[in-house]
Structure 1
């Protein structure tokens, strides 16, 4: 017992930061986004398992200025670390600058800031969005028999996830000259907007054989509009999504979606906190952590239920 007590005292003297409470400020781009709301919940659950870790959440509500103000409030409060899911990946320079000037570790999660390299003291945890688009489109192209008309449903144009997932889709299309993109518009990640957009495409009379949506919520909205028009998703029009959350899995089960691509928001949530703690405690860390995507179809969706 005495040896154990001495060991605890010794470790506390060697690494006081490891034993100290850590206060982390977290700014989420938009908490009413289903995927991001789930990621927030995973963060809460993970922090509860870590002794002395407190999270302070703020909702940027899709507003770049609001998010910048939140980060500035974090720095003025003297938080130990900051985690940001950016509203606009092209507008993060000021956030990064504020954190660096305050000498506070900063971790971006899920959406990587634009640019090639992250500066010192800044990390990123997320997934390769280009791969998501590639995996989704290869599956759809195979099911289309390598020919037909494709509609691409875009997420928010301010997000590099939208750009990169679409880039992945179009990279694959170079191998399929007989698949033609006939529509390409944004539904802002939202199910309701996707329903309206898909309905407009159907009413226009343009033949569409498949829809590649940048996210499950939009894919589900498209599938709902297809059914309302008296057609069957998967038979009359193939629909592909991305994210692989509970709603996407349920849509796969019901044959609303032919395919989705699993983005591990639990891994991203936990990884962002773990990286922030490593930075705070001055432990060795890898500045960028990429969590791979996984293809989900009717054949394997049950493997992803309650991962």
Structure 2
């Protein structure tokens, strides 16, 4: 009698063991281009919060890494995830033109890869790779159209560009210029990169004011540079609202600046939509479920009239 009982117990333990293995949490490696970017911090926090919401035994363990705006470091992080045999990888690329090696490494390892916030420059993504992004050209069109209407189709503007290695910068600016093509009475006075940073935006606008340049509006590729522009104008004694300021992202600081009248308008980029969307995509791909390869999270215009709806 003892032998079959032992055998049954062993079989049961093996069965339970295999069940536990099947119910094990998925391991997902996440490489963010830089942790100290305000908007990307929000994306990361929403991702982390959503990962903790899954039921026990059906969860996700996230391993976050900061690429510190270094392409080589980011590739190394991805290769490290591969060596750890993670179930999926999420990447917010440092340079959207330098993602081919990241994609190649993940595909060769048979590990699903999801790009978030910034889509690779290549037109068609390879099989096993997805992207959760927003249409950056639309962001540029929305902010510029609002400012063009406020200016009555006449005036001078300056453009604060993001990181030039980033297609978000290229496409948001392209959207701005698409609208400008309809308004020959609006001229670009200056156009320089503030690499997404508040202090760089402030320095550039301060320099232009010191040089005696005149402009009626600031079009910034993100809220941080727009806030920096507002700070420079305030320091120079410019009457709030006399120079229109447009941003992109709808960060908490950006929303507060609109509420206070320091910024004119922003375009809401859904950090929660991107963070949760990329995690869900990676999770489904790891489980061999079919997903849409290009997931687009829509932008929304934020004005003083509706800013309260975004808080």
TM-score, with structure 2 as normaliser: 0.92
1:31 aligns to what? 35
- Secondary structure in structure 1 of the residue aligned to 2:171: helix
**Does residue 117 of structure 2 align to residue 110 of structure 1?**
yes
**Does residue 86 of structure 2 align to residue 82 of structure 1?**
no
Q: Which runs of 5+ in 2 are unaligned?
A: 1-15
CA distance in 1, matches of 2:91, 2:102: 9
**What is the CA distance between 1:253 and its match in structure 2?**
0.5
Query: How many residues matched?
Result: 291
**What is the CA distance between 1:18 and its match in structure 2?**
7.5
CA distance in 1, matches of 2:119, 2:147: 27
Q: Which runs of 5+ in 1 are unaligned?
A: 1-11
Contact 1:82 1:107 in 2 (8 A): yes
**What is the CA distance between 1:83 and its match in structure 2?**
0.1
After TM superposition, the runs of 4+ consecutive aligned structure 1 residues lying more than 4 A away are 15-18
**What is the CA distance between 1:16 and its match in structure 2?**
9.6
**What is the CA distance between 1:245 and its match in structure 2?**
1.3
**What is the CA distance between 1:17 and its match in structure 2?**
9.1
- Secondary structure in structure 2 of the residue aligned to 1:279: helix
1:21 aligns to what? 25
Which range moved further: 49-58 or 67-76?
49-58
Contact 1:233 1:239 in 2 (8 A): no
CA distance in 1, matches of 2:247, 2:96: 22
CA distance in 1, matches of 2:280, 2:27: 13
1:40 aligns to what? 44
Classify 1:75/1:254 alpha carbon distance in 2 versus 1 (closer, same or farther; 3 Å).
same
For 1:199-248, what per-residue CA distance to the aligned partner results, in whole angstroms no more than 9, with x for missing partners?
0111111111101000000000000000000002422x110000001011
One of 252, 264, 288 as aligned partner of 2:294: 288
- Secondary structure in structure 1 of the residue aligned to 2:29: strand
For 1:56-79, what per-residue CA distance to the aligned partner results, in whole angstroms no more than 9, with x for missing partners?
000000100000000000001100
Contact 1:17 1:281 in 2 (8 A): no
Contact 1:18 1:281 in 2 (8 A): no
**What is the CA distance between 1:40 and its match in structure 2?**
0.8
Contact 1:154 1:186 in 2 (8 A): yes
2:208 aligns to what? 201
- Secondary structure in structure 2 of the residue aligned to 1:55: strand
CA distance in 1, matches of 2:298, 2:110: 31
1:239 aligns to what? 245
One of 254, 258, 274 as aligned partner of 1:248: 254
One of 222, 240, 252 as aligned partner of 1:215: 222
TM-score, with structure 1 as normaliser: 0.93
CA distance in 1, matches of 2:22, 2:128: 18
